[in-house]
Amino acid sequence: MNPIIKKENFNKNLIHLGWAGAGFGILYWFFESIRDVLLFENVSLFDRLFFPDPMSFWIRLMVIGILILFGVHAESRKKQLVDCQGRKNRPVYTPKIFLIGFGYIALYWILESVRDSYIFEKGNILHCIFNPGPMGIWMRLLSVFIIVLFTLYYQTLINERKKMEEQFKKEHNILNEHVEKLKEVDQMKSDFISVVSHEFRTPIAVMREGVSLYLDGLVGEVNDQQRELFTDIFRSINRLERMVTDLLDVSKIEAGKVKLRRGSVDMCNIVRTISKQFEPQIKEKDIQLIAELPTTELKIFADGDKVTQIFTNLISNAIRFTSKGGKIIIKVEDLDEIIQCSVSDTGVGISKQNLSKLFSKFEQFGKPEGKGDKGTGLGLAIAKGLVEKHGGTIWVESEVGIGTTFSFTLKKVPFPNILIVDDEPGIIQIIERFLSVDNYQFINAFNGKEAIERAMKENPSLIVLDMVLPEIDGYEVIRQLKENKHTHDIPILAMSAHSVDGEWLDHVDGKHGIPFLAKPIESDVLLNRVKDILSS
């Protein structure tokens, strides 16, 4: 049982039993008032109900407190007795509940005896306990009867709740078994898809290259009929490759294995590039593709390939379902903390009952316009996974016969600060020039001591560290940074023109190790290594 739900139920029952104790206490107060009217002369029931003498008032309050405490204590006891998690056929311990009730009855009896001894017997408490007199004993028995009724009432609640919890546990266990089986089947399916898709890639590449050789005329001349046949085969191979890629992508997303290799991404440039790639399909279907973009440059720190894939999947979907003469509009907007993008079409639209299932795997709705690729039903699921990986959201608005708009947001992530440590200013300038293509922010240090101070103060996203430095060398810088809790998690990329202790670098940071690049450093190698480190 969910512990939060269980706690809420416990609190509700606690309140209910507390109120029940108060209700039985009011009944007791009424009986006590009648008893006082019969025992004392010249008193009315109204006076004894609302204006009892001080001793009677406090004794009554104590007895009512006993009843309420009994309800609270009994509920606490029930929480232990009726805890059925992980236990089967646990009995309800009814005798213990009644023992609790009898304990409270004994306490009540003693309090009543103290009261009577104070009023009638001048301190003879034992006499009042064992010989309270006819009127006293009957009124006490009536009050005892109230407590017994309360105990029975409470026991009924226990039995009912026991039955409900046993039924809930049985259904909960059955549901858990089904869920576990479904998880196992889903995992087997995902593993199978991943393995099979990966194994398909090699034969697909061989087939594509073989057909390309014929189309390029490298293995002999082909006539028009043969060329048309090979062209159809080549298109089918490309479609098969896209399907395999989609299967691999969706399996990675489900397994949480997708990593973002973030860099500087020009959103406007991405849209323009993709629009050019779709020009042949746009012309073939005689539809318009319009891009509404900001007039100024719009760069964000994101995975360019993944952003391109999101747009590609949405635009492909729009082209597939837009008829001749239709229109597709791609819009990009800068909304301060997020980038909002949308792909709108004038296609067939999607019914309201299908909108909630649109981002599920292998779901396809409606009939695509024209011939060609009908899709795998994975493109939108992949787009959703990639958008969410970027910290954004994706949604759809559609009306049958009018068109559909897919919108998504990408969270703006600050460009990383990179601390470059080298005693040669020229080397620092070269590294900055290599990495500036991704709009990183740079901090410089020219010796080991300054590097530690800047790392403590600036908390950079990455430290590019030369191992040969004045005052404090790179090894000591790494050791001090890793021993400090404020800088321990900052990734470091070591570099040097000299040989280094590779084994020490591999083990100084536990299982991750410190990556190393030998000088001179090539720009592409440095850029890719930095992306890999920041993505992990």
Burial of residue 517, with CB atoms counted within 10 A of its CB: 0-12 exposed, 13-18 middle, 19 or more buried: middle
Q: How far is Cα 74 from Cα 218, in angstroms, rounded to an integer?
A: 90
Tokens linked to 74: 């009994």
- The kind and range of the H/E element at 531 are helix 523-535
Report pTM: 0.60
Q: What is the domain partition of the chain in residue ranges?
A: 258-411, 417-535
Give the closest residue to 449 by CA, choosing from 491, 421, 490.
421
**Six-digit token pair at 268?**
């406007």
Instruction: Identify the CATH number of the domain defined by range 417-535.
Output: 3.40.50.2300
The strand pairing partners of 331, in sequence order, are 292, 342
Grouping H, G, I as helix, E, B as strand and the rest as coil, residue 254 is helix
Q: Show pLDDT as tens, one digit a residue, over the chain (536 residues).
A: 444 334 444 445 545 555 665 666 676 677 677 767 766 667 777 776 777 777 667 766 766 666 666 655 555 555 444 444 444 444 444 445 556 666 666 766 776 676 666 666 555 666 666 666 665 565 566 666 666 666 666 666 666 767 777 888 888 888 888 888 887 777 776 677 667 666 777 788 888 888 888 888 887 788 888 888 888 888 788 777 777 777 777 777 777 778 888 889 999 999 999 999 899 889 988 999 999 999 888 999 999 999 999 999 999 989 988 988 899 999 999 998 899 999 999 988 888 888 888 888 766 665 555 554 555 678 888 899 999 999 999 999 999 889 999 999 999 989 999 999 999 999 999 999 999 988 899 999 999 999 999 999 999 999 999 999 988 999 999 999 999 989 998 999 999 998 888 888 888 876 678 999 999 889 999 999 999 898 87
- CATH topology for 258-411 is Heat Shock Protein 90 (3.30.565)
